[in-house]
Chains A and B, each alone.
Chain A
Amino acid sequence: MLSQISLFISFYIGSIGFLYILKDKSSWIEKLGLSFPIASVIWSLVWWLLNWLFATPINATLGYITMCVSIFLGLGAILLIRKDNKYIRKFTPGLSLSSMATSILIALLAAMMLTNIVYNINTPITDWDSLTLYDFRALRAAENQSLEIEPLQNSYILGYPLYTSIGHLYGYVFDSHSPKLFYSLLYLSGILIFYSLLLKVTSNLISTLGATTLGLYPLIVQHSYMAYTNLAHSFFVGFAFLYLFEWWRSGSNRNLFLSSFFIMASSWTRSVEPFFMVYLGILLIMIVQKHRRVRFLISILPVLILRQLWEYYRTIRLESGSANVALEVAGLTNSTLDLMKTIANPEHLSIVWNFFIENAILPHKSLLLAIFFATLHFIIVRSRSGYMLMLINGSLALFIFLGTLQFSLVYQNWINIPGSLTKVSMTMIPVLIYYVFYSFRSNS
């Protein structure tokens, strides 16, 4: 347990050092928020590649090496590069009504986060997908000190990338039984990043309100208690789009880099829903507007390389790998044809549409009124950035709808698993909440 916590602390030290090396000018809250996702994603990739290419055993030694490298990188960077205090936001304590409201919201959020951490440290995993897949894989890998073992080499388990499984391994290699601490830290980081993203465009009070809305959003709270991939995936996809939007708005390349990192991380968390396609579409529209083709290429490279690498890893492990790929291609072609036919078939379309409304839109009905008014605001003030956010949200929703349509054709039992659509629709939440609070921007 202590070693696991030390490893996570070393992640923070390492990433903050990394961000110093990049001369990142963000506030310390943003640095703190970005630290855990950056470090955990990068180290999970490193562990996977080391284990795959050099057969390095995944054990406590690797954990301690990771810890040392992280701390060395972090402390080295902080010692070598002169600390520039100019960019650190200074808080002036005061008892105005606004700061009181902010502190109440923060107290509520802090209570939620603290409870989450205490709970996740002390409870075993009980979630279906995690038992059959993510945690199973982590446990077996920890026993055998490797991911290259027999029970993990089948198409069901290899259908999902390794990020959260290695997240559990960060604890298991030290014999710690609290793999869920990983999810608490992701939840915490997500809220901090969201807060700092909003703070770039609105006041402190509005940003805190936004962060509280995200942090207390029932679906997000529920998933912060579960060992599923959806929380990480929603945050990563959401932040990929929000940083992309921030880049489009302010033009800082750092945001494009972060956006490209997060979309890669989302593919490393779940590869089933290819949200990177929406990302490419939006990016293309932005590039056409801004005439920056080289950056386009650079920013999509990580996600494409990772997807290809994972696909290759998968293919060589599955016995009938080539046949599978052929089948997939045939399936895709067929289902695309079917998709065309379905669009012309109003009956099936209306069933899917109702299913979509019921399970992807209505679970978020508490936000709908606010979204309506925010949209009205953007239309009245004719805000270009508002339209861009609308485009992002619209594309995400459309993509989820088309995905449901596609899924309804390839999987017979689709209508009996409404929960998975709701889980996928969670991906829209960060961007939607940002959208609502972005409408307060013009007068701050």
Chain B
Amino acid sequence: MKKYSVKINISRIAEFSNELFVITFFLIILDLTGLKLPHSVGKTYTILFLAGVLLRVFLLIIDRNTYKALCRNLSNFFSLGGAILLPLLLGLLLAVSTAELFHYPGLVQEHLNLKFDPIRWMSAMLLILTPSAIILLLKSRLRKKLLTIFIPKIFYLLLFLTAMAWTGRYLFLYLDTIYYDNYSFATFHIHPVGFTNLSMSLASLSAFVFIFMMLKNRKELYNSSPKVSDLLMGFQGVYQTLSLSIIQALTLVSMFGALILYSQYATQKIALSYANLHNISKSTQSEATSYLLGGRQSYGWIAEYTDFIKTVTPDNAVIFIPPQIEHWTWTGNKFFMLYFLYPRKMVVATDLYQGIPESVTHVLISHGLLKDVDEDAASFGWPKIIISSAQISRIDLIDRSNLEKNTILGEAYYQDPSTERWGIITLR
């Protein structure tokens, strides 16, 4: 790297960045102990930590040798810290996740009066400390045993446990969806959400193994005697012993964090897919559509409703439908209604009170799909105009809750906001 003749006191910058890290770590530890710190503290230490990293990078660009030399002071402190904190964190994390699995998520946070989710924070800390801990383990006297026996065993165990936690999560979510909400807690006293945290903790642990696997020049590492200067913050150690640069290691860690989130989403999607498939396995096409759109009391109603309309109208019917506003964004969409009612034709009203055009043979009765608690009840119900009995040949109605069908003959139609009505008016 080219040397720049910039007159900056590099040693001051290095010291300053070290100080930033110390402050950050103390703040994190204070936060973890549950002291009532103001909200801005959380933001502050994130900023401080990032500022520290940026300063390091800046130094790296300016002068690599000075950077290395000046980073020694505190490196020892952090890697030792890593070695003590890591097992402690591991134990705590597993204990907390397991406890919450059988009681309820947020148990620890509530009882210790913490402002943050301890599991998330511990997982994040683990990710930060993992590299330094790896280096330290590698340089210890036990290294040969560690490499040949301990690490692979931990790896297999972790993979197994992560897989189990994921499977558990999937299984109980599946049970909840096919039976009823809260089924798994009522029956087994287990929270599916607890598995989320457990799998997250386990997945953070596997970061440990993952970074280990990126080691390429492992042999050199065994033979060299441990150097304290290698161990700064873990990342510095990774930078020197892996074939990855410090920034690539950071990229990898942040990508790994993202991947954990994605896997959680994916496993949840897998579980819900099979639960949905189970629930629609014995239903007809329109029942399945209804279920997948949220059921009869939600948008799913459209499937069964249009099925009914098809049975009471001929193929050449011209149906007058509400304008696509307010409660009629679905039933007022010409193309949407056409999908279900083709080959019948749709005529869309221009406003809520428009009279019936001449070409029309049927008028849709649509209450409005979703009931919003805040909405004024009077705003529901279409058509809003009165249609005299002379114009009407018959009115076919269907009950949304029990699918009961009802035909009215020789009566005028007028809108009654207090009753929910769905159906179709056949004009003379």
Contact residues of A with B, CB < 8 Å?
97-98, 100-101, 104, 108, 111-112, 115-116, 118-119, 122-124, 126, 128, 131-133, 135-136, 139-140, 151, 156-157, 177, 205, 209, 212-213, 216-218, 221-222, 225, 366-367, 369-370, 373-374, 376-377, 380, 436-437, 439-440, 443
B213-267: which have CB < 8 Å to A?
A: 213, 243-245, 247-248, 250-252, 254-255, 257-259, 261-263, 265-266
Most chain A C-beta atoms within 10 Å of own C-beta, residue among B155, B252, B338: B252
The residue in chain A whose Cβ has the minimal distance to the Cβ of B209 is A97
Q: Bound state CA distance, A181 and B333, in angstroms?
A: 27
**In the assembled complex, which residues on chain B have CB atoms less than 8 Å from the CB atom of A131?**
335-336, 339
**In the assembled complex, which residues on chain B have CB atoms less than 8 Å from the CB atom of A116?**
273
Known: A97-B213, A213-B255, A377-B251. A124 touches B288 (CB 8 A): yes
**In the assembled complex, which residues on chain B have CB atoms less than 8 Å from the CB atom of A123?**
276-277, 280, 288, 292
Q: Bound state CA distance, A205 and B251, in angstroms?
A: 15
Q: Are B159 and A151 in contact (CB under 8 A)?
A: no
The residue in chain A whose Cβ has the minimal distance to the Cβ of B252 is A440
Q: Are B339 and A135 in contact (CB under 8 A)?
A: yes
**In the assembled complex, which residues on chain B have CB atoms less than 8 Å from the CB atom of A218?**
262, 265-266
**In the assembled complex, which residues on chain A have CB atoms less than 8 Å from the CB atom of B277?**
118-119, 122-123
Give which listed residue, A97, A177, A216, A373, contacts B262 with CB less than 8 A. Answer: A216
Q: How many residues of chain B are within 8 Å of chain A by beta carbon?
A: 47
Q: Are A132 and B293 in contact (CB under 8 A)?
A: no
A-B contacts, 22 of them at CB < 8 A, read: A97-B213, A119-B273, A119-B277, A122-B281, A126-B292, A131-B335, A132-B333, A133-B335, A139-B339, A177-B285, A209-B259, A213-B258, A216-B263, A218-B265, A366-B262, A369-B254, A369-B258, A370-B251, A377-B251, A436-B255, A439-B251, A440-B248
Q: Are B339 and A380 in contact (CB under 8 A)?
A: no
**In the assembled complex, which residues on chain A have CB atoms less than 8 Å from the CB atom of B61?**
380
Q: Are A377 and B245 in contact (CB under 8 A)?
A: yes
Most chain A C-beta atoms within 10 Å of own C-beta, residue among B247, B252, B255, B288: B255
How many cross-chain pairs have Cβ atoms below 8 Å apart between A and B?
132
Q: Are A140 and B342 in contact (CB under 8 A)?
A: yes
Q: Bound state CA distance, A111 and B265, in angstroms?
A: 13
Give which listed residue, B213, B244, B245, contacts A101 with CB less than 8 A. Answer: B213
Q: How far is the CB of B346 from chain A (nearest CB, A)?
A: 10
Q: Bound state CA distance, A131 and B159, in angstroms?
A: 42
Q: Are B259 and A213 in contact (CB under 8 A)?
A: yes
**In the assembled complex, which residues on chain B have CB atoms less than 8 Å from the CB atom of A205?**
213
**In the assembled complex, which residues on chain A have CB atoms less than 8 Å from the CB atom of B26?**
none
**In the assembled complex, which residues on chain B have CB atoms less than 8 Å from the CB atom of A156?**
335
**In the assembled complex, which residues on chain B have CB atoms less than 8 Å from the CB atom of A112?**
266, 269-270
Does B274 belong to the interface (CB within 8 Å)? yes
Give which listed residue, B258, B335, B336, contacts A370 with CB less than 8 A. Answer: B258
Q: How far is the CB of A102 from chain B (nearest CB, A)?
A: 10
Q: Bound state CA distance, A376 and B288, in angstroms?
A: 50
Does B312 belong to the interface (CB within 8 Å)? no
B279-325: which have CB < 8 Å to A?
A: 280-281, 285, 288-289, 292-293
**In the assembled complex, which residues on chain B have CB atoms less than 8 Å from the CB atom of A111?**
270
Does B77 belong to the interface (CB within 8 Å)? no
Does B353 belong to the interface (CB within 8 Å)? no
Q: How far is the CB of A254 from chain B (nearest CB, A)?
A: 30
Give which listed residue, A115, A135, A380, contacts B273 with CB less than 8 A. Answer: A115
Give which listed residue, A157, A216, A374, contacts B251 with CB less than 8 A. Answer: A374
**In the assembled complex, which residues on chain B have CB atoms less than 8 Å from the CB atom of A217?**
262
**In the assembled complex, which residues on chain A have CB atoms less than 8 Å from the CB atom of B293?**
126
